[in-house]
Structure 1
């Protein structure tokens, strides 16, 4: 069984650290498309960096997220995605006004239950690749929560706790659902 589990939410909310812990525990994980696009762009022209051209960035992240889903299709068990198509579609909507339904269509790309990392100011840090501030991260979180609900996903908020406890929470929740 392939269950594609999306972990989305606020920048600096601890998603990547959670994915690293899940990977350490033997789970399949997929790194955030946006961070990978930024890394590629920094070695190239830089034309699709989000602070240079958000629309080009979102298109690149969408393409990469689609490729990630195709690659993960043959995996057995849970596959955890650090962000993905929905995050990129929301970024494209911000950049162009194109609606998420128009970008994503009717298909559910991930399991119905999505884990959402809430704003966590103590955890948020700007860096060379995350140039926006905490207020923009909170606005992004709010847009994602609205989009996920509009797309028919159920949201489970990740607790603000240690990475180990967060990973336990996610795995216990998923195991509980698989027994139903």
Structure 2
């Protein structure tokens, strides 16, 4: 298997249960890579910075893209031998850039598209029963549904096969994903 075959992306709009699912994978002994967006928002709020999705979207997207590329490169150089689960991937930032109609250097975007993950990307759909807002998550459920569609489309345009994770218990979701990572299909 290629090194990228070990890099598994869990994606979807906000509030769909990615964090709980990643905690389950960590409990099972897998390495997880936390998303950079929440960390950036927290840091910006603590320091009075403007790189926030409700203030300076371009600056926020730049920090997210840089951080996502660094997180990716930190994992790929380790020559992984077991699955590493990412809470979002670089294409999530590309989807955000597209949704917000932000202008980025074409060369920078092309470089980001070259950093590849496993060909199967697991996308969690909006789920009204578990969706909650907080200080860092200000989107409405409708915005979460719109985000889901754009992310799915972005990954598919980049040649990934998106697999929708069913709304089920954390354990069932984890089992669903692991069963579909069989390299024979």
Determine the structure 2 residue equivalent to 1:64. 67
Unaligned runs of 5+ in 2: none
Which of residues 8, 26, 30 is equivalent to 2:29? 26
Deviates more, 1:90-99 or 1:10-19: 90-99
Unaligned runs of 5+ in 1: none
1:44 aligns with 2:36: no
**1: distance between equivalents of 2:89 and 2:39?**
11
State the SS of the aligned residue for 1:124.
coil
State the SS of the aligned residue for 1:93.
helix
**1: distance between equivalents of 2:50 and 2:38?**
15
Determine the structure 2 residue equivalent to 1:151. 158
1:112 aligns with 2:126: no
**2: distance between equivalents of 1:157 and 1:51?**
29
Deviates more, 1:138-147 or 1:67-76: 67-76
Runs (4+) off by over 6 Å: none
> Counterparts of 1:113-128 in structure 2 under 5 Å?
113-128=120-135
How many residue pairs were aligned? Answer: 178
8 A contact 2:16–2:126 mirrored in 1: yes
What CA RMSD, in Å, does the superposition of the two structures yield over aligned residues? 1.9
Deviates more, 1:2-11 or 1:149-158: 2-11
**2: distance between equivalents of 1:64 and 1:158?**
26
Determine the structure 1 residue equivalent to 2:88. 83
**C-alpha distance after superposition, 1:40-79 (max 9, x if no partner):** 1122123111111111111111111111111111033111
